A and B are shown apart, each in its own frame.
Chain A
Amino acid sequence: MLDALSPAEWTAVHLSLKVSLWATLASLPAGIATAFVLARGRFWGRAVLNGIVHLPLILPPVVTGYILLLLFGRKGPIGAFLEQAFGIVFAFRWTGAALACAVMGFPLLVRAIRLSVEAVDRRLEDAAGTLGAHPAWVFLTVTLPLTLPGILAGMILCFAKAMGEFGATITFVSNIPGETQTLPSAIYTFTQVPGGDTGALRLTLVSVVLSMAALLASEAMARRIGRRLDLS
């Protein structure tokens, strides 16, 4: 099995998994917060926030990648600040790939969680309040557990999106083997060289298997949680 892929191909698979995992985990707290603000908040500019969150979904990925390059590049205002203050560099690093994937996956993450938050019966929260639970405890013991199916669904969507992300990543952090060459970039590279067809096909198969596995896992998880909650 291990011989099926070359070391360079394994590196791409491994890097893709690492980038996607980090993209999903790092954006989760912000995703949950944004989903709650959009679902429950009543403030001026909510529509604007909603628009900004969804922007990567409708913009060409190249545009998103270029905006990231402008903002988070070494000379970009945010990138320069982060490098000076914390020594964090995104440009042409795997962290940059993770950032690009996180931004692209964020709308999907927020959307799934938001729907789940909106489905939470607020009367249950009232009931928890009358039982003596402080609002913070109500959030932790009632709202969050009831939102869990949406959070998991959002995480899997975000992860899957990150696994397949190509345009924004290659624009922002290029296609450096071992550093920013994720699975789609590697497939793209194979298709650009003579005789790369078999390599491209192998990685395509890997890609299909990984996507399918994520999908099945999410289905199984959703069913299990759904049974436990039985939101009737």
Chain B
Amino acid sequence: MNLSVDIRHDLGRFQLDARFETEGRLTALFGRSGSGKTTLVNVIAGLIRPDHGRIALGDETLVDIARGIFVPAHRRRLGYVFQEGRIFPHLTVRQNLLYGQWFTPRAARYQQFDQVIELLGIAPLLDRRPHALSGGEKQRVAIGRALLASPRLLLMDEPLASLDEARKGEILPYIERLRDVIGIPIVYVSHSIAEVTRLANTMVVLSDGRVAAVGAANEVMGRLDLFPLTGRAEAGAIIEARVESHDETTGLTTLRCAAGALRVPRVDTAVGASLRVRIRARDVMVAVKAPEGLSALNVLPGTVQEIDTHGGPIVDLRLDCGGQSLLVRLTRYSVANLGLAPGRPVFAVIKSIAFDRRSLGGAVTAQDVGDGDTTAA
């Protein structure tokens, strides 16, 4: 479903001036704290009336200030998962879950109670009171409550921000299931590049209330000029890969992507399933000759496409490896020393260890990513 937003709203500190359109299954609104993400989502949800502009979902206009149209929140049928859950404290988990369903016209209900309960694994919680839930459980109940109202679009405002790393790993697979199994369009607000990388199809980058970039997540993440916004330290390329084989003796899994084969520490994902892999720019080395006697298992041939010299001692490069973009961060010294320039054929070298489990995601069948392994990405 197409969501088109074009609004202006005075926030005091700055003007929120956002215009974008998305067809994506999961659209990430990405930006630093205070960039206007939450306000933008509240405007879409109908909790804030923008000063100017319009919002349309499919062919329905939700807001058109110039024409005096403002559909109130309770008639928009958009699900909203808040950062702090906002579970009703005076109702049981079951009553919370059924709250939205009660207000949804029978004909518009497409979510089955039992299915949602199973999908989110909250059956054992149904008769509990909210204060007896952990943070992760609260968020799953909040997701279930929003889903059971059978929304046309699901808004999620940093649903993982209040959770620790282990709980994040617990919730992420459920969000992937919403995206892939239920297929509900999602607008997902986050300032975590790891979450966005793992979840997003489309990405909207917000900076000081303005849209700095919109596009497919891997393209936006691959843009060197956006590094100051997407976060230099965490910058990296997103690669769609397929599980080719598992090797029991070495404990490694071989993934196949456009750039070639990647060997990573064992992933509990069925052979043939697709995965999304993030390779951080700082984890990649470059060689001008095919390296020998090397511990790193992944050597991918490619060519230098772009070099972004933003002045400091560190330089970002974009390589093309069989049609797949790969980002590399090197010292200016190395770039000069190796004589790297656009068009130059090189070899990208990536240690298998660089693939921590949180940079691997997107598999529909993934049982649970991050069970105890909570390496920060």
Chain A interface (Cβ within 8 Å of chain B)?
121, 123-124, 126-135, 137-138, 141-142, 145-146, 148, 228-232
Query: Closest residue to B149 on the A side, CB-wise?
Result: A131
Query: For the complex, is B100 an interface residue (Cβ under 8 Å from A)?
Result: yes
Is A228's CB under 8 angstroms from B80's CB? no
In whole angstroms, what is the CA distance A146 to B88 when docked?
Answer: 9
Tell which of B73, B129, B146 touches A230, judged by Cβ atoms closer than 8 Å. Answer: B129
- List B residues at the A interface (Cβ < 8 Å): 45-47, 72-80, 82, 84, 86, 88-90, 99-100, 103-104, 129-131, 145-146, 149, 155
Residue in A134, A138, A229 whose beta carbon sits within 8 Å of that of B90 in the complex? A229
B146 CB contacts on chain A under 8 angstroms: 130-131
List the B side residues contacting A127 at CB < 8 Å: 80, 82, 86, 88
- Check B79–A232 contact: CB distance below 8 A: no
Residues of B contacting A138 in the complex (Cβ-Cβ under 8 angstroms): 74
CA A126 to CA B130, docked complex, whole Å: 18
Question: How long is the Cα–Cα vector from A131 to B155 in the complex, in angstroms?
Answer: 12
Which residues of chain B have C-beta atoms less than 8 A from A146's C-beta? 89-90
| A123 and B82 contact, Cβ closer than 8 Å, known pairs A146-B90, A229-B90 | yes
Contact of B103 among A124, A133, A142, A145 (CB under 8 A): A133
Q: Are the C-beta atoms of A130 and B78 separated by less than 8 Å?
A: yes
The dominant DSSP class at the A interface is: helix
Known: A123-B82, A124-B86, A146-B89. A130 touches B131 (CB 8 A): no
- Output the least CB separation between A224 and chain B (Å): 13
With a cutoff of 8 Å between Cβ atoms, the chain B residues found around residue A142 in the complex are: 88, 90
Known: A129-B74, A132-B77. Contact between A230 and B47, CB under 8 A? no
Q: Which residue of A lies closest to B90 (CB)?
A: A145
Q: Given A130-B47, A131-B149, A133-B103, verify A230-B80 contact (CB < 8 Å).
A: no
Q: How far is the CA of A126 from the CA of B74 in the complex (A)?
A: 9
Which residue of A124, A126, A132, A148 is within 8 Å of B88 (Cβ)? A124
Distance in angstroms between the alpha carbons of A228 and B80 in the assembled complex: 25
Once bound together, how far apart are the Cα atoms of A217 and B72, in whole Å? Answer: 42
Ordered by A's residue number, 23 sampled pairs between the chains whose C-beta atoms are within 8 Å are A124-B89, A126-B47, A128-B99, A129-B72, A129-B74, A130-B79, A130-B80, A131-B79, A131-B100, A131-B103, A131-B146, A132-B74, A132-B75, A132-B104, A133-B74, A133-B99, A135-B74, A142-B90, A146-B90, A228-B90, A229-B89, A230-B130, A230-B131
Q: How far is the CA of A134 from the CA of B149 in the complex (A)?
A: 14
Total number of residue pairs linking A and B with CB closer than 8 Å: 73
When the two chains form their complex, are residues A132 and B90 in contact, meaning their CB atoms are under 8 A apart?
no
Residues in chain A near residue B145, CB distance under 8 A: 131
Q: Chain A's nearest CB lies how many Å from the CB of B227?
A: 35
User: Which residues on A sit within 8 Å (CB–CB) of B47?
Assistant: 126, 129-130
- Interfacial chain A residues near B77, Cβ < 8 Å: 132
In the bound assembly, the distance between CA atoms of A131 and B74 in angstroms comes to 6
The residue in chain A whose Cβ has the minimal distance to the Cβ of B72 is A129
B90-A137 in contact (CB<8A)? no
Closest to A225 in B: B90
Q: Is B131 within 8 A of A232, CB to CB?
A: yes
CA distance A38 to B76 in the complex (A): 30
CB proximity of A221 to chain B, nearest CB, Å: 15
A146 closest partner in B (C-beta) = B90
Which residues of chain B have C-beta atoms less than 8 A from A126's C-beta?
47, 73, 86
Complex contacts, A141 vs chain B, CB 8 Å? 99
Residue on A nearest B105 in the bound complex, by CB: A132
A47 to B149, CA, bound (A): 41
Inside 8 A of A123's CB, which chain B residues have their CB?
82, 84, 86
Identify the closest chain B residue to A135 (Cβ): B74
Q: How far is the CA of A127 from the CA of B131 in the complex (A)?
A: 17
Q: How far is the CA of A229 from the CA of B89 in the complex (A)?
A: 5
- Which A residue's beta carbon lies closest to that of B47? A126
Q: How far is the CA of A225 from the CA of B174 in the complex (A)?
A: 34
Instruction: Given contacts A121-B86, A230-B131, A231-B89, list 15 more A-B pairs with CB under 8 A.
Output: A123-B82, A123-B86, A124-B88, A130-B47, A130-B76, A130-B80, A131-B74, A131-B103, A131-B145, A132-B74, A132-B100, A132-B103, A138-B74, A145-B90, A146-B90
Known interface pairs A123-B82, A228-B129; A130-B45 also in contact (CB < 8 Å):
yes
Q: Closest 8 CB pairs between A and B?
A: A132-B103, A131-B100, A230-B131, A130-B80, A127-B86, A129-B73, A145-B90, A129-B74
Measured CB to CB, the nearest residue on chain B to A138 is B74
CA distance A145 to B96 in the complex (A): 14
Residues of B within 8 A of A228 (CB): 90, 129
- Residues on A with C-beta less than 8 A from B155 are 130
Chain B residues with Cβ below 8 Å from A229 are 89-90
Contacting pair A132 B82 (CB below 8 A): no
The chain A residue sitting closest to B85, CB to CB, is A127
Query: A133 vs B145: C-alpha distance in the bound complex, in angstroms?
Result: 13
How far is A20 from B304 in the complex, measured between Cα atoms in Å? 87
Chain A: CB-nearest residue to B75? A132
Residues of B within 8 A of A134 (CB): 74, 103
Bound CA span A138–B194, Å: 37
Cα distance A44–B58 when bound, in Å? 43
CA distance A130 to B45 in the complex (A): 7
Q: Which residues on A sit within 8 Å (CB–CB) of B99?
A: 128, 131, 133, 141
Looking at B46, B73, B100, B129, the one whose CB has the most chain A CB atoms below 10 A away is B73
Contacting residues, chain A, for B131 (C-beta < 8 A)? 230, 232
